[in-house]
Every structure is written in C-alpha cells, then in structure tokens.
Structure 1
Amino acid sequence: MYQQTIGAQIDFHGVGVHRGLPVSLSLLPADADTGIVFHLCDANGITHEIPAVSTSGAAMDLSTIIGDLNGAHVATIEHLMAALYAMEIDNVIVAIDGTETPIMDGCSAAFVEAIEEAGIRELRARRRYIRVLKPVRVELPNGAFAEYRPHSGTRFEVEIDFPTPVIGRQAYAIELSPAGFRQELARARTFGFMKDVERLWASGYALGSSLDNSVVIGEDGRIINPDGLRYKDEFVRHKMLDAVGDQALAGERILGCYRSYRGGHKLNALTLQALLSDRRAYEIVEAPARRREPLRHSPLVAVAAYGPQTL
C-alpha cells in the first residue's frame, strides 16, 4: 500500500538494440512522489530530466520513446519500464548517457534480477492508483484493437496473430504480480524476421540486434537461434511484456484489465491516451494508512484532488 524505491544504486552497461551504440545506465533510489524520471546527460554535459509519463512519450511502432521540448529523448525504454512496474517500484532516477537503454539479452530478466539483488525499500507515502471505471476501446483499420475494462486488480490479456507457422495465433493472460512477471514474462525476448533486417538497417534500426538479444525467424520460417525458444509461446509473452512497460507511462499503477489483439507499442500508447483523456473512464484512488486490524472494506479510497499525467 506504500510507495517503494530500490534499496541501492544499480548499474548496467550494454548497447542499444536499434542504434547499436554503447550505453551506461544507473538506477538510483528516489524519494516518494518522484516517479520514474530519466536523467539524460547529453554530449554538451547538460542533464535533461524526462519523466517517464505519457505526456513525455511518443507513439512509435518499433519502440517506446520519451523526450522533452528541447529534443532530448530516450528510446526503447519498455523492457526497463516493465521491470520497474511489475516489481512495484514507484520512484527511481534513471541516469543514462545515451539515447537508448541497453537491450541486455532482449527482455526484462537482467533488470528484475538486479532489482531483487539491490532490494526494495518502502517509503512513508501511500501509493495512488488509476482505477478503470468503464470500458475504453481503440480499433485500427487493420483489425487490431485494444481496450481497458474495469477489473479489481492489474490484468493483461494479449493475443497476437502472425501469418507464419512458427508464431501463428497465440494468446496469454496474467494477473500481474512481481512473482508472476518474473516467472512468466521477464525472460521473453524481442523478436524479428530476417527478411526485414535489410530494410531496418537501411532505416537506421536494429543495428545492435543479434542472436544474443533477439529471437530471429529465418527466411524458411524457422527459429535461427541455436538454443531455440525460452517458452513455446515466447512471442506473445514478449508482446505482453511490452504492454506492461507501455502501461507504466500512465504515471500511476492501473487497476483494470488491458486487452489487445494484434497490438504493439503504438496501439498501447493510443489506448492509454484514450483512457486518460476521458475523465469519466477512471478515478484516482489511494491506499489507506496501514491499520492494526484487518481491513473489512475496500483497501482503496477515492481522492479527488489528484489527477494523472495525460497525453
């Protein structure tokens, strides 16, 4: 019921999956009500503070990007954000020296393991939530759709459909929790098709992609990675991991069910925008102070004075 931060500084080093450039990133403990804030040090030594909220974000197809009005930006933040959100970290400073977070091995596992090793510290401030009150749905011309529905917890239902036998139609659902994310989603890697590589390279993307950080599907429709898949349905699990990271840009934890079909970063962002743009679709609730006696009523109470960041 209380906000949390990490117990100690955590350092990561790697390359960005799209630009292929080396990058160092540090997670620093932060005070209550700080939120997740990126501190980007640019080539001139100027530090840009970029909150990881939807107002700072852009709806992109290949990754999630946040930036400020001066043009400073950080890309591919979704795997880190998913780990922070799922591990219930509310406040942290993300110090980074490049414009893309390190891809690590293509998932959230390294971030989750490091957070658990550093420990989690409870802060003396109650956590706030965005509670979904009515369905909000976004549909795209290609048949893809996503929606938020009222739900007592934080639930994700994701379905994908690719015209290749190795993927096909896959669906997965989970009630989000730290243990569930660690066991079911954190190790699911990003994926792509060999046939798209030259086009992506020509556009300046996937320059840091390799078999060490991506599942690659060859021209013959088979998995190229020597070790194969980590889960038989790793593809849909990774799409759900991305959805968790994209939802983290709400600025507060969401109580509701997020469901998507053939979704991606852009659809995730558009649906979150639709929810936060409709003040009748949600309310802000706050966890009450801890009591000695067990709670007999709802553990959440509405507060009217606070609203989330909106797109």
Structure 2
Amino acid sequence: MFKQRTLRQSVETVGIGLHSGRKVRLVLHPAAPDTGIVYRRVDIRPAVDIPAHPHNVNDTRMATTVNVGRAAVATIEHLMSALSGLGVDNVLIEVDSAEIPIMDGSGASFVFLLHQAGIVEQDAPKRFVRVLKPVEVREGDKLARLEPHEGYRLTFSIAFGHPAIDQTEQVADVDFSRVTYEQAVSRARTFGFVQDVEMLRRMGLAQGGSLDNAIVMDEFRILNPSGLRENDEFVK
C-alpha cells in the first residue's frame, strides 16, 4: 500500500516575487493526513487558508492563481510541481504575500527545500486518480489529453515558431518508471520574451523578473549568458 507523505519538519526560505519584485517569506509545515496542499496568507488578519484545489483556481494567465474570496496566492506552479514530483501529499504553506517567490524560475529550488525538511510517510493510504478512458481538452491550437496507462508517463510537445526554440527538442517523453522528477523535469525554467517583459513592467508587473529566474529571448536568440540547462528545457 502506498502511504501519504508529509514533511519531517518545517522549513523556510525568502525569495523575490516575480510580479511584485518584493521580498517574500515562505514557510512549509508538516500537515496531518488528508489535509492536502494548503496555502495560508499570514499577511492578512485573520490569516486565510486557501486549499490547492482545482475549484479554487481563478486565473492561469501568466501564472497559476488560487483564491478563497478576495485572498489569493499566485505563481504556485513550480512549488506544486516539486510537491507532486516528490510525492508530498500534505503540507501547510505559509506565505506573507500574494505570490510564491520565483526562486530560480524552476522547481529545483523547491526540491532542495523539501529535501532540507525531509519527507516522511504517514499512517494513511495515498489516493490516486485512475484514468479509465481518454479525456481531451482543446483550446485553439492547444491540446491536453489523458489516456489510461499502467504507470505515470507524460509526453509534451511545443511549436512556438521562434528560432531559438525551433533549434531545441520539440517533444519530451517522460516515463516516471524509468527516471525521477528531479532528473527529468525539476530544473526546467519558465521562459519569456524581452518585449513581453517590458510591456508587463509598464503595467507594474514582472518587477522581479530577470535572467536569474527565467529564460529570456529577443526575436532571435536566448539572452541568458549560460544558455539552456538542457536541450529540451523549453518543452518541459
């Protein structure tokens, strides 16, 4: 039987908010079985808990945002990726801002943080969603499809029509029976275009964005001096 997992102890870090550019304090705490992933806005009085539940997702433009009432937490995707990748089911996440710190723009910093806390099994069975038949969602030229499979396998493809992206791998196939999340996915960073960053900054957004926490491109090339971490970083 697979058991639920939580953290051995609390762990904290400080980083920069991607859009606010302000310092954000983040604390991850162990949580009881069946708690799930819960964000707590401690800068609001009284503090507001926001479960990371699909019904609480209210925006996916530029970042994933969850909310309860007027309290929201944005840019949760890299932390959620790390929690899922390491199989953490229950955690209370305290944050003193409306966004999670961007760190290095990938899940790798959060993986390190979770290992610092330690991960332990709990006396409760882990719950899974089993796909029994194909499910497909389309929006314009975008497609997401779930199919029954004995295991956990993800296949991504990208078609961006940009010289720098076109020179890299366009498809990534990740079978988690053969590779780990840390090896295959965690270090892939978000990417964007310098013209979009300039527009967002004029709108008061992306104040914390830099070459230290994203892959940034102009019309022709990657601007980061160190380039890509992997040849399939864009598609992941």
State the TM bucket, normalised to the shorter chain: over 0.9
What is the correspondence of 1:195-214 to structure 2 with a 5 Å cutoff?
A: 195-214=195-214
Q: Quote the offset at 1:150 in angstroms.
A: 0.9
Aligned to 2:18: 17
Q: Quote the offset at 1:234 in angstroms.
A: 1.0
Q: Quote the offset at 1:190 in angstroms.
A: 1.0
Q: Quote the offset at 1:116 in angstroms.
A: 1.7
SS in 1 for 2:21: coil
Q: Quote the offset at 1:61 in angstroms.
A: 2.2
Aligned to 2:61: 61
Listed one character per residue, the Cα deviations across residues 197-239 of structure 1 (whole Å, up to 9, x for unaligned) are 22222233221100111111124x11111111101121112xx
State the distance in 1 between where 2:173 and 2:19 align: 29
State the distance in 1 between where 2:178 and 2:117 align: 15
* Cα 1:13/1:66, change in 2 over 3 Å: same
Aligned to 1:307: none
State the distance in 2 between where 1:177 and 1:91 align: 23
TM-score by length of 2: 0.94
Aligned to 1:150: 148
1:207 counterpart letter in structure 2: Q
1:214 counterpart letter in structure 2: A
2:17 counterpart letter in structure 1: G
What is the correspondence of 1:280-295 to structure 2 with a 5 Å cutoff?
A: none
SS in 1 for 2:87: coil
TM-score by length of 1: 0.72
Work out whether residues 11 and 116 of structure 2, in 8 Å CA contact, stay in contact via their aligned partners in 1: no
SS in 2 for 1:162: coil
SS in 1 for 2:235: helix
Work out whether residues 59 and 66 of structure 2, in 8 Å CA contact, stay in contact via their aligned partners in 1: no
* Cα 1:126/1:104, change in 2 over 3 Å: same
Gapped runs of 5+ residues in structure 1? 238-311
Aligned to 1:120: 119
SS in 2 for 1:14: strand
State the distance in 2 between where 1:46 and 1:154 align: 40
Structure with the largest fraction of helix: 1
State the distance in 2 between where 1:33 and 1:197 align: 40
Q: Quote the offset at 1:178 in angstroms.
A: 11
Aligned to 2:35: 34
Work out whether residues 87 and 177 of structure 1, in 8 Å CA contact, stay in contact via their aligned partners in 2: no
Aligned to 2:234: 235
Listed one character per residue, the Cα deviations across residues 253-283 of structure 1 (whole Å, up to 9, x for unaligned) are xxxxxxxxxxxxxxxxxxxxxxxxxxxxxxx
2:153 counterpart letter in structure 1: R
SS in 1 for 2:12: strand
Gapped runs of 5+ residues in structure 2? none
SS in 2 for 1:161: coil
Give structure 1 regions of 4+ aligned residues with deviation exceeding 2 angstroms: 175-179, 202-205
How many residues are aligned here? 233
Q: Quote the offset at 1:175 in angstroms.
A: 2.2
Work out whether residues 88 and 178 of structure 1, in 8 Å CA contact, stay in contact via their aligned partners in 2: no
SS in 2 for 1:128: coil
1:182 counterpart letter in structure 2: E
1:83 counterpart letter in structure 2: A
Q: Quote the offset at 1:87 in angstroms.
A: 0.2
* Cα 1:233/1:99, change in 2 over 3 Å: same
Say what the alpha-carbon RMSD is for the aligned residues.
1.6
Q: Quote the offset at 1:115 in angstroms.
A: 1.3
Q: Quote the offset at 1:59 in angstroms.
A: 3.9
Worse overlay, 110-119 or 84-93: 110-119
State the distance in 2 between where 1:104 and 1:140 align: 30
What is the correspondence of 1:174-253 to structure 2 with a 5 Å cutoff?
A: 174-176=174-176, 180-219=180-219, 221-237=220-236
Work out whether residues 157 and 235 of structure 2, in 8 Å CA contact, stay in contact via their aligned partners in 1: yes
Identity %: 43
State the distance in 2 between where 1:47 and 1:177 align: 40
Worse overlay, 85-94 or 170-179: 170-179
Work out whether residues 158 and 170 of structure 2, in 8 Å CA contact, stay in contact via their aligned partners in 1: yes
SS in 2 for 1:131: coil
SS in 2 for 1:157: strand
Work out whether residues 16 and 102 of structure 1, in 8 Å CA contact, stay in contact via their aligned partners in 2: yes
2:76 counterpart letter in structure 1: I
